[in-house]
């Protein structure tokens, strides 16, 4: 039977740790904050630290299921936040910065295997970028699926496809 202590949402900490390693250490460090939805709920936008990456759980997906097994995925967003003092209508500075950071986050997370999952993180279509009304902040989301198998006999990650 699968482990009763297995928490599929604990993947958040693995994603945060990987992003810290990839974006906050070494000569290419650029990220000032790796946060989660919990952090976003406590800070006003104008007080955010940027550039930053926020890890947000976006819900489960069921690929295929029957009475005894299910192929599941959990969708995680890595939202890159950049800020600029440029004119609000000038998106180019934010896009240039955000594009570089998107590549770094993609490289850090694509294929990352998380506990309780059967596949490494798989990129999927993200939500659209968001540009704050005041024009200072831009948010560039990337989306990844963490896939797992479940069976009534073996629990999580014990099922076969």
Give the tens place of pLDDT for each residue, 109-151: 999 998 778 889 999 999 999 988 877 888 999 999 998 887 7
CB of 2 closer than 8 Å to CB of 155:
yes
CB of 117 closer than 8 Å to CB of 145:
no
| pLDDT exceeds cutoff 50 at 2 | no
Q: What is the number of structural domains in the chain? A: 1
The residue segments making up the domain with residue 129 are 8-156
Evaluate whether residue 142 is within a structural domain. yes
User: 104: exposed, middle or buried (C-beta count within 10 Å: 0-12, 13-18, 19+)?
Assistant: middle
Specify the pLDDT at position 142. Answer: 97
What separation in angstroms does the CA of 84 have from each of 37, 50, 135?
A: 22, 9, 8
Evaluate whether residue 64 is within a structural domain. yes
CB of 6 closer than 8 Å to CB of 14:
no
Evaluate whether residue 19 is within a structural domain. yes
Q: Which residues contact 66 (CB under 8 A, 6 or more apart)?
A: none
Evaluate whether residue 161 is within a structural domain. no
Specify the pLDDT at position 72. Answer: 85
CATH of the domain at 143: 3.30.2000.10
Task: Tell me how far apart the alpha carbons of residues 86 and 19 are, in angstroms, rounded to a whole number.
Answer: 27
Specify the pLDDT at position 1. Answer: 41
In 59-91, which residue ranges form alpha helices assigned H by DSSP?
A: none
Evaluate whether residue 3 is within a structural domain. no
Evaluate whether residue 54 is within a structural domain. yes
Evaluate whether residue 53 is within a structural domain. yes
Specify the pLDDT at position 24. Answer: 96
% of the chain exceeding 90 in pLDDT: 45
Specify the pLDDT at position 114. Answer: 87
67-71, 132-136, 154-158: the lowest-pLDDT one: 154-158
Give the tens place of pLDDT for each residue, 94-112: 667 788 899 999 999 999 9
Evaluate whether residue 92 is within a structural domain. yes
CB of 6 closer than 8 Å to CB of 148:
no
Give the tens place of pLDDT for each residue, 8-49: 677 899 999 999 999 999 998 999 999 998 888 888 888 889
For 42-59, what is the mean pLDDT? 91
Strand partners, 49: none
């Amino acid at each position: 039977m699968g482990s009763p202590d297995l928490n599929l949402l604990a993947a958040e900490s693995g994603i945060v740790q990987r992003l810290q390693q990839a974006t906050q250490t070494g000569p290419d460090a650029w990220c000032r904050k790796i946060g989660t939805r919990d952090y976003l709920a406590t800070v006003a936008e104008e007080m955010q630290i940027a550039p930053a990456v926020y890890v947000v759980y976006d819900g489960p997906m069921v690929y295929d299921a029957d009475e005894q097994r299910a192929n599941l995925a959990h969708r995680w967003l890595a939202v890159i936040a950049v800020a600029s003092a440029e004119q609000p209508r000038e998106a180019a500075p934010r896009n240039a910065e955000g594009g570089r950071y998107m590549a770094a986050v993609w490289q850090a997370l694509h294929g990352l295997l998380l506990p309780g999952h059967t596949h490494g993180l798989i990129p999927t279509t993200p939500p659209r970028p968001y540009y704050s009304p005041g024009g200072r902040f831009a948010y560039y989301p990337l989306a990844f699926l963490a896939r797992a198998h479940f069976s009534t006999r073996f629990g999580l990650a014990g099922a076969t496809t």
